Amino acid sequence: MIRMALATIVVATTLNSISVCKAGDVAFDKAVGGSKAHELAQWGRRYEHGEGVERDLDKAIRLYCKAAAQGSAEAQYHLGWMYALGRVGARDDALAAAWFYRAAKRKDPHARRMLERLGYQGKPKQQAVCRLTDGGQADRHGRVITAMQIGSDDLPIRYAHPARRHIASMVRQLAPEYQLNPNLVLAVVEAESNFDSQAQSNKNAQGLMQLIPATAQRFGVNDVWDPEQNLRGGMAYLRWLMSHFEGDLELVLAAYNAGEGAVQRHGGIPPYSETQRYVKRIIERLHPGDG
C-alpha cells in the first residue's frame, strides 16, 4: 500500500510538472509571438527575474532580442546589463558595450553611463548579437539559431561532388579571416551560384559569390573567375555588410542580394519578391524547420 501511494505521488508530481512546463511554453510562445516592443521587453523582464513565470534567461534574451530589433532602448539596455553582469556565461564587457551603445543612441541615459563605466568611447567594434547561455544565438524574431553562429560544421552540402567539397574546404579555411561562420558563406554560395565558379547572371554577376564588377573592384578582386579570389571578395563584402547593419542577418542578406542602398531606402528588407525569397531561403537553409 505504501509503495502504491508513493507511486501515485510520483506520477501526480510528474504530471503536474509536465502541465506546468506546457503552460510555461504556451505563455512564452504567446509572448514571443507579440509585435509590440514594450510588451516584449516587459515579458523579457519577467523571464529574466522569474516574475510570475519560471525564470529562464534564454527566453528572456529571445524576448529582449525581438524587442531590441524593433528599436526598444529598454530591451537593448537589459541585454547589455545581462552580459555585463555575466548572467549569460562569462562576463562580456565588449558585447555589453555593443548593446549599451545601441540603447545610448536612443537617448537612454543609463546606457550612456554604463558605456562610460566600461570605458567605451565611440562605436564598439563588437557586434550586438543575442548570445544564449549555451553559446548559440537568437535572431531578430526571437528564434533560436542553431547551426549558423555556433561554428558547427554540420550544415550539409547537397550532392557531395568533389568540386563542392573542395570549395567547402576553402570556405572553412578562409571564413575565420573575415570573422564569418563558414555555414553562412556556404549557404550564400549555394544560393548565388550553386557552387559553379563559372556562373554568370544576366546582370553580369560573376563567379561563386556572384560579384558584379563594381563590387569586385571595391574589394580588390582582380580575377572573379578564380574561386579563392571570388570567395575572398564575397566574404569581404559580407563582413562589411555585417558591420554596416550591426549583425542583422536578414538585412545583410537582403543587401547582398539587392544592394545596401535598397535596404536603406526601404528601411528594411525591400519589397522585391526575389530578395524576400532569397533571404527566406538562406535563413531556412541555416536552421531548417524553424518556422
Q: Burial code of 158-173, b = ≥16 C-beta within 10 A, e = fewer?
A: eeeeeebeebbebbee
Q: 98 with 228, same domain?
A: no
Q: Among the options 48, 74, 190, 192, which is catalytic?
A: 192
Amino acid at 14: T
User: What range does the domain containing 27 cover?
Assistant: 2-145
CATH number for the domain spanning 19: value is: 1.25.40.10
Give the pLDDT confidence score for residue 11 in this predicted structure: 41
pLDDT exceeds cutoff 90 at 181 = no
Q: What are the residues facing 211 on neighbouring strands?
A: 206
Give the pLDDT confidence score for residue 74 in this predicted structure: 95
Residue bearing the bigger pLDDT, 123 or 269: 269
CATH number for the domain spanning 240: value is: 1.10.530.10
- Residue range 2-28, pLDDT digits in tens: 555 444 444 444 444 434 444 457 778
Q: What are the residues facing 130 on neighbouring strands?
A: 138
Q: 83 with 185, same domain?
A: no
Q: 124 with 42, same domain?
A: yes
Give me the mean pLDDT over the 155-172 stretch: 69
pTM of the model: 0.53
Specify whether 190 is catalytic: no
Q: 76 with 198, same domain?
A: no
Answer yes or no: is 269 within a domain: yes
Last residue of a domain, one of 145, 171, 191: 145
Structural domains counted in the chain: 2
Tell me the DSSP string of 20-44: HHHHHHHHHHHHHT---HHHHHHHH
Give the pLDDT confidence score for residue 90 in this predicted structure: 81
Answer yes or no: is 156 within a domain: no
